[in-house]
Each structure stands twice: as structure tokens, then as C-alpha cells.
A and B are shown apart, each in its own frame.
Chain A
Amino acid sequence: MIDTIYIEEGIEGLSKSDEIISRFPKATVIPCKHYKEIFNPSGQSFRLQKKKPALILARQTGKLVHPIPPTYGVGGKHNFYFSHLLNCLYDCRYCFLQGMYPSAHYLLFVNFEDFEKEITRAAQSSTDPSWFFSGYDCDSLALESVTGFVAHFLPFFNTLPNAWLELRTKSVNTQVLEKIDPQSRTVVAFSFTPDQVSKQVEHGVPSVRARIQAMHTLAKRGWPVGLRIDPLLDCQDFENRYCQLFEDIFAQVPEHAIHSVSVGAFRMPSGFYKKIEKQYPEEALFAGGFQAENGYTGYLRETESRLKQTCLRLLEKWIDPEKVFTCET
């Protein structure tokens, strides 16, 4: 899967680095001074790199835990995100990462302990519950076999009495969670688009059916699960397709197991959108009649409202509206 590993000179020989490298005995290991030498230069093609991304092992410095926009939470008062990994195993055409980063390589920060210190500080800054979102710049589970992120961080989060963790994923790689007791303050949130849409724009992602099955398995074992209908994408037969999606999900996952549902229409910073559209000029998604407004590109206001209202109405049949949150830009 990975045949090139770049490693910062400062973290060569660390046990975490050695452990990861040992999982890829055939990979070529290339040392570098700083990950930015490889990840940041201009003139790279995200699209071409996505065909065969390398792994970069590095140490993240500076601020490691960041507040999230106030309209993006799932009911918590204090919300943060942290990114131990930049970029994703999957290749979803709507994903903002394609426009955010110049490189598609997987950039893994191995200094997990530094993340822990900052998470602890953030959690202790209030006695109220604090939420930590781990899947902003990556899929929280998809590269678990490489990163060991979940296996490392779940026991840590268990020691923080007021900290909630969201693992956001499209992966069905849930073995790590099936092996341990469920944690009441860890929500495994699965993202969905209807099957017909997923097949068009979510490349390399497990099928909708497989994701529902993974959600079912975890819910049955007692894990709180989340449902993320984000991004909502306009498509032919929109209402019927989303109706079918919810029927399929709620046939397998009982309402009481669902911690929260969030709904958000496709939108992203216009600069990212332009970069992505330039890379994929033949992509049907980008002929979707979007508009730029206040620095963001998304559906026309009336379209966005129609998609959201339809979706919220469909969800009413299945779930307590108090568990449903809408993401606004």
C-alpha cells in the first residue's frame, strides 16, 4: 500500500517511527529535514499523488488543538479539533482537503504525547464537557493499521472525565473498537451520501451497505454512534434517495444507539473550490450550479435550504429532532 516513507531527521529512531516503518518492510525510507520540504512545495499535483500517496512521518509543533467554528458542533459547549494526520485514504471528490493541501501524501504526526498534553489542557480549561473532533483533516479510522491512533488515544480519553471524542469515518475498519469495551464518551460518527451518489463521488470508500453494517456492529456492542449527512449533495431523485438511505440505516441501527445526527450542505472556502475544480475539470459534481458568497462556494441559498429542509423532514420519522444538528457556514 505504501512504498515510500519520508521521515524527518529529528524523529528517526523514535519507537513510534520505528514501529510504523516496520509495518512496511518493502518501503523505501527517505530522510528529510522537515516535512514541509515534501508536503508544502507548490507545483505538485494532488490528483496524480492521490494515485499512490507516500507516508510522511513528522513531528507537529505549534498549536495542536484548535477551536472549531461555533456552528459545527453536536451539542457541546466547548469544541476543539486536532489533526494527528493530514489527508485521507479515500478520494471523495467533494472533500475540501483536495483544495487545502498542496500534497496528497499522508502526513502523520507521531508526537502523540504532545497532542495529549494539549488536549488535557483544553479539557481542563472548563468543568463543562469538552468535545474533541479527530476527523477534520483525515478519516479517524481508515488508516488505523498504519497510525495506531485509536488504540493509543481511546485509553487516554478515558482518563479525562469531561472530554468527549468524535471519531469521524467512512471506514468499516472497526476491529480496533470491537476488541475493547465501549466508551460512553467516544462517538463513532459515520458519514453517508445515498448509494447512487456515493458510487459517483466517493472513490475507494466502502459501500453504503458495508458502512451501515459497521455502524450496526458497533451500536450492538454498545458504542454511541453518530450519523453525519454531510455534505448533502443535490442529485436526481433527491428525496427518494435520501429517504431510502435513512430507511436502510435505521433498519439496522436503533434510534437509542444514535448519539447525534448532523446535516450540512456541500460548501467550502472558494479558494479551495477553485483549486479542486481546476484539478478535476471533467467532474460532474462541479457542474452543480454552485455560487460563491462571502468567501464560500456552495449551493444557491434556495437550493441549500430545500436540500436541508427535505432531509430534516425525512429524519423526523426516525429520530428525536433534539439529536439533529445542522452545520452552517
Chain B
Amino acid sequence: MNFVIAFIGEAQPIIDYYGLTKATHRSHPLFQNNRHSLILSGSGKERSSWATEILAKHTGTPNQAWINLGIAGHGNFAKGDPFIAGKIEDDQAEESFYPPRIYYSSLQVSSVRTCTEPSLQYEEGQGCDMESHAFYKTAIQFSIRELIQVIKVVSDNPSHPLDQFSPQEAPAMIHQHLPAIDALVRQMDQASESLQTDQTLEQSFIAIRKTHSFSVTRSHQLHQLIRHAKILGLDMGIMEELARSSSHAGDAIQKISDFLKPHRMLG
């Protein structure tokens, strides 16, 4: 999971919960373990967008899960209530985002509007923050929409306006919702993993490709054949043997293809 969070006060509960440690990065505070990364973006659209891009390039793998977590105002939710964004609007952009709701979560759903400046204008049924739209717009360049979500905890509302909020309240507010956040994190990570490349297949492919000099087109053909062989439950050792006993790459493709032919039907 990649977390993009504006301030350390909002991030500290996540850092502690997952045991993240500070990593070296030249432009941003970054915290990591072997499963999760967290970047502190600072406040506002541009900073959030920039940090998202930095983290995407730092981690490098496509289709990872992403969460923008932080505090937000809300028109009617109580102070301390968490919510997940069902619709993300922007005060300056036409485009809205609708993070697909494919996970089971106890979190309430609300729309959120990303504003350029802190706002004391609360709208019924809507949250207001300063990062989520920019975060989402950037994150969809690096992952699919189902794997990008926004979670906010209400820091202020018409009864408790922003000018009465102290940033020191943020860690405790987020801390109390960690079980719900973690439940979502687990589902999102699982969804992300289901989309990642099959490493055992890649290892078999690499081993067989080494047997001859395969052109780009033939490498593609070979990869498809090896994938089909695996789906059909055929022994990868036989594929490798067929390739080794071939005189050249084209011959290997032909032999493996011929071997697969009688197996190519549903069980």
C-alpha cells in the first residue's frame, strides 16, 4: 500500500501501526517497510500531486494500491467520523472522480470537494479537503481506479469550525479508526496482488528463452505458449527440454506449439 498523507500528525498513527521506518529520500519524508510506503506531501493540490508522482516513481511497480488519508471538514458528519470518498470534486476543475466501491468496509461514504484554500463553507452531505482530487488525478496515471481510495476523518463541521481545530488532535482522531482503515488496506492489497505478474511463469519463460536467440516477436509468442502450457497444467521441464532439443528459436516455437495442440481444450 502506498499512503499519501499531508502532515506527520495524520501519518504518525499509520507509521506506528505498520511499523514503518524512515527511508532516505532527497525531496520528501518517506516511511517504509517491506509491504507499505508512506510519503508526506504537505498541504494542497500541487504538493499532493507531486508527492504521489514521486512515490509512484520510487516504488516503480504498476497497479499498486493507493490511499490518500487525512483530516477534512464536513457539512454534516460529526467531528471524528471517518468516511471514504464516493465522489471527488474540485473547486476549480470540471472533472469528478468516483473511486469504485468494490470493498467491504464499515466506513461511511461521502462526496468530498477539494478546495484551493481552507474553507469555512460547509455543504450538506459533502466533505472538504485540500488534496484528494489532485491525488486521485495523479494516482490514476500509475494504477487502476479500484486500487485508489481516499479516506478522511472529520476534523471540523458547522458546529466545530476549522478555526477551533488544533492539529494536535489529528493523531488521536485517526488512531481510533485504524482497524477500519487496516481492513480496507488488506482488501486493496489483496486486489493489487491478484493483478500482479505470475513470478513462477516469468521464471520459466526466462529459463526457456535462454536456450536460443528469440526475436521480440518470437519472445512474445514463446511467452504466450509458456503461459498456455502452465494454464493447461503441463510440465515446464518438458517445455524446456523441447526448446533445448530444437535447432533454433523458430523450431522451438513450433515444437512447443505442436506439443500443446492436443491439450488445447477445456477439461
Residues of B within 8 A of A48 (CB): 100, 102, 144, 146-147, 191, 194-195
Query: Does B237 reach chain A (CB closer than 8 Å)?
Result: no
Q: Kindly identify which residue among B98, B101, B228 contacts A287, using a CB–CB cutoff of 8 Å.
A: B228
Contact with B along A37-59 (1 / 0, CB 8 A): 11001011101110110100000
Interface segment, B7-15, B127-135, B259-267?
B259-267
Q: Which of A63-71, A182-190, A278-286 contacts B (4 or more CB under 8 A)?
A: A278-286
Query: Does B101 contact A54, Cβ atoms closer than 8 Å?
Result: yes
**Residues A288 and B101 in contact, CB atoms below 8 Å apart:** no
A32, A51, A201, A236: the one contacting B102 at CB < 8 Å is A51
B1 touches A (CB below 8 Å): no
Residues of A within 8 A of B101 (CB): 3-4, 28, 52, 54
The binding surface of chain A is classed by DSSP as mixed
B100: A residues at CB distance < 8 A: 44, 48-49, 54
Report A-chain residues with C-beta under 8 Å of the C-beta of B36: none
Chain B residue with the shortest CB-CB distance to A287: B228
What CA separation (Å) do A31 and B98 show in the bound complex? Answer: 10
CB distance from B24 to the nearest CB of A (A): 31
Of the candidates B96, B111, B267, the one whose C-beta lies within 8 Å of that of A235 is: B267
Q: A265 within 8 Å of B by Cβ?
A: no
A30 touches B111 (CB 8 A): yes
Cβ-defined contact, B96 with A37, below 8 A: yes
Q: Are B144 and A43 in contact (CB under 8 A)?
A: yes
Q: A288: which B residues are within 8 A, CB to CB?
A: 264-266
CA distance A28 to B232 in the complex (A): 42
For residue A234, CB closer than 8 A to chain B, the reply is yes
Chain B residue with the shortest CB-CB distance to A103: B100
Nearest residue (CB) in B for A194 is B266
Closest chain-B Cβ to A284's Cβ sits at a distance in Å of: 5
A218 within 8 A of B: no
Within 8 A of A (CB), among B45-89: 86-87
22 contacts between A and B (CB under 8 A): A30-B98, A43-B140, A43-B145, A45-B145, A48-B144, A48-B195, A51-B102, A196-B267, A200-B266, A200-B267, A201-B266, A236-B266, A281-B198, A282-B198, A282-B231, A283-B231, A284-B267, A286-B228, A287-B260, A288-B264, A289-B261, A289-B264
- 10 additional A-B pairs beyond A37-B96, A48-B102, beta carbons within 8 Å, are A3-B101, A32-B96, A33-B96, A48-B144, A48-B195, A54-B100, A238-B265, A283-B231, A286-B228, A289-B261
Point out residues on A near B: beta carbons under 8 Å: 3-4, 6, 28, 30-33, 37-38, 41, 43-45, 47-49, 51-52, 54, 196-197, 200-201, 233-236, 238, 281-289
